[in-house]
A = this chain, B = another copy of it.
Amino acid sequence: MILSTKGRYGLKAVFELSMNYGLGPVSLKKISSKYDMSESYLEQLFAILRKKGYIETVRGPQGGYLLAKDPKEITVGMILRALEGDITTSECISKEVCSREAVCATRVIFEKIENSINHVIDNITLADMKTEKYNLLEENNEQESIS
């Protein structure tokens, strides 16, 4: 599995904040119960995202978390990288110096895989996900309240 629960939970939770953008904070409890995640675990993920500047918090009753920027300005890649670290295939690319760098054919493959993933996640914003969601709803003739 490419993504751990960090990335998967994190993206779902942030998307939830995105759906509530402009409508005030959403509490941890709401999100974690809606998606059946551990509250404390999700809290730790949000702490990471807060430090990176993607979300903000309001403490006290009726407090919670909210997106720090417009959903148009936050990409899926930003969230996934914050939580999972850089998407890499091989240390050969990111850290290690390959002993036969110039002739390493597998390195080329790994780079292609990485590039294709990065291309996908860097070109989808939270706003795009919202649009996509409504398209899905329409396709399935379903209804759901937004808040």
A residues apposed to B, CB below 8 Å? 1-3, 8, 11-12, 15, 76, 87-92, 102-106, 108-110, 112-114, 116-117, 119-121, 124, 129-130, 132-133, 136-137, 139-140, 142, 144
Contact = CB atoms under 8 A, between A and B. Distances in A.
Is chain A's interface secondary structure helix, strand, loop, or mixed overall?
A: helix
A15 to B, nearest CB: 6
Contacts of A12: 106
How many copies of this chain does the complex contain?
A: 2
A105 to B, nearest CB: 4
Contact of A120 (B15, B106, B116): B116
A140 B108 contact: no
Given A2-B88, A3-B89, A129-B105, A117 B121 contact: no
A129 B112 CA distance: 12
Contacts of A91: 1
Nearest to A99: B36
B2 A102 contact: no
